[in-house]
Homo-oligomer: A and B are copies of this chain.
Amino acid sequence: VESAGLHLYIGFTRCKLAMCQPSDESESVATQDQQKHDRPSSSKSAAEKKVNVNEDGNFLSFAPRPSLFSSEHPSNSYRGFVNVLIILLLMSNLRIVIQNLYKYGLLINPWHITHLGKSDNVCLAFSLWFYIFSAYGIEKLHGYVYSPIIKILHWTNAIASFVVPWYAIWYFRTDPSGGIIVLVFATTAFMKIVSFFLVCDRLRTEAKSKDKTFKPKLRQLLYFVAAPTLVFSPRYPRTAKIRWGWVLRRICEFIGIWAGIYVVARQYVMPGLQNTLVPLENGSFFLIVEGLLKIAVPNFLIWILGFYSIFHLYLNILAELTRFGDRQFYKDWWNSTTLGYFWRTWNLPVHSWMVEHVYMPLTNRGWRKSPASIFIFIISAIFHELIVSIPFWNFKLLAFGGMMLQVPLIELTKCLKGSQTGNVIFWLSIMLGQPLIVLLYARDYAQGLYGPWTDADTKTVGKILNGFQEALGWSIAANLTTVAPPSMPPSTSAVHWKVLDRFYKFMH
């Protein structure tokens, strides 16, 4: 239908009369830049007058312009699609909320909060003050007692501050949720005590070289214990005053978020975990993936809300109350393109402590950067394992293993530095790896399999790998029919089998 006789006039005069169209100005959330490109400048007064047609008999003029989605278009703004993503996500999950309420009713119970206040755990938390005051007492011995003995006393005290609560939680089998909180506080106490005497040592050496003496004051130690940092310093940047209204608002947010976390965990994660335990034993690959994906979304919500409430709200509240000035508790780990960047930036208090007391001393002794980094990562993995394993009575090194699996991933993602692919891989490893670990802990906790690794575990892994292999081998249909979905009620499974049968025939 090509009409060859028409002239080629690329560069046709552009949109002379486009001002006649109803004015669209600033009705889009696009950048000003794009709007300028799409719309020629128009004088408002001209639009009021009667408009005549152009030489082609049209009010509107044609112009050579590319489509907006085309790569030839110079400036695209897709801001509106971010809102679409949020709405789609909310719609998908609002549906799940309604389904969940129909299926389970309300599972939440405000009395569950008493789990956290069990007297054994509370006593253990308060006992941590003993080690802190001991550290101050041991520090006071300087000048009276031989220095290496003081060092031994300090390390004994510090290690006891973590090991004693750890052993007590294991021995008395206290409530797991409270137990984890106690162990986090115990780890904090351990790190603060170690930092306290190591920095004091440095300052004493420095003071001695200038023929002065250094003695830490008790109020310095107490301020350090209260302040949101793990690295001791005799002085910190401070703010001028406490904004009490600000503190109150942050506390309300904190309480609200934790109420939300509890609801999500009780209503969505726990039933999801229970439903996935059966396919996990049967090793039916697709049902495990489906269950994992069902847990992954609320699990991520808990994780991100937990991060915000602890690393933003809790630490900022502490900082405001202690007028602590340095509030860089995390960097923009959500933009990570390598797993290494994530692990260095999501928890700056611990990372700074590691750099201060492990990484820097090691590199100053001639260690290279890379092994020193891996070394602090291993220490971090050990602490994760210790904090999680004891309250849940699980000795299969799942947390440790999960973190150590990250080491090769950290190396692999190094080549993706700065790319969106790197960011997506980082998120996938976090968002799928974490619910998998949670699922494995839930399985062992529910079945009382405390470890070490048993035959049942090996069989489950074998079944899963087998299912995965079958799936990879394109025998999806065979896999679906040989592994019966176990949670189906009897009446529907007849229909179900019929459908699968049809599906099976279709595939062959």
Contacts and interface: CB of A to CB of B under 8 A. Distances in A.
A84 B240 CA distance: 38
A105 B240 contact: no
A454 to B, nearest CB: 29
Given A27-B341, A80-B332, A105 B65 contact: no
Contact of A88 (B7, B29, B89): B89
A326 B62 contact: yes
Nearest to A495: B489
A127 to B, nearest CB: 18
A85 B87 contact: no
A290 interface: yes
B9 A83 contact: no
A418 B373 CA distance: 48
Contacts of A234: 56-57
A427 B83 contact: yes
A10 B239 contact: yes
A340 B427 CA distance: 38
Nearest to A14: B237
Given A60-B356, A103-B499, A105-B503, A28 B89 contact: no
A70 B219 contact: no
B237 A12 contact: yes
A323 B2 contact: yes
Interface in A447-491: 480, 485, 489-491
B293 A91 contact: yes
A84 B297 contact: no
Given A62-B325, A80-B335, A199-B57, A92 B94 contact: no
Contacts of A443: none
A408 interface: no
Interface size class of A (residues with CB under 8 A): 35 or more
A2 B223 CA distance: 6
A43 interface: no
A325 B80 CA distance: 27
Nearest to A345: B24
Interface string A358-382: 0110011000010001000000000
B223 A6 contact: yes
Contacts of A297: 88, 91-92
A124 B33 CA distance: 46
Interface string A329-349: 111101111101100110000
Interface string A59-71: 1101111111110
Given A3-B219, A106-B503, A327-B70, A20 B237 contact: no
A330 B418 contact: no
A404 interface: no
B238 A58 contact: no
A492 to B, nearest CB: 5
Interface stretch (A114-122, A157-165, A180-188, A224-232): A224-232
Interface in A436-453: none
Contacts of A222: 1, 3
A88 to B, nearest CB: 6
Contacts of A396: none
A327 B3 contact: no
B233 A91 contact: no
A344 B24 contact: yes
A27 B340 contact: yes
A85 B86 CA distance: 7
A384 interface: no
B10 A330 contact: no
Contacts of A293: 91-92, 94-95, 98
Contact of A3 (B220, B338, B503): B220
Interface in A38-91: 38, 50-51, 53, 55-60, 62-70, 76-89, 91
A337 B29 contact: yes
9 contacts: A20-B355, A21-B344, A27-B336, A30-B335, A62-B229, A67-B328, A79-B335, A95-B294, A101-B503
Which 6 pairs, one residue from A and one from B, show the smallest C-beta to C-beta distance? Answer: A105-B503, A64-B325, A80-B334, A1-B226, A27-B341, A12-B237
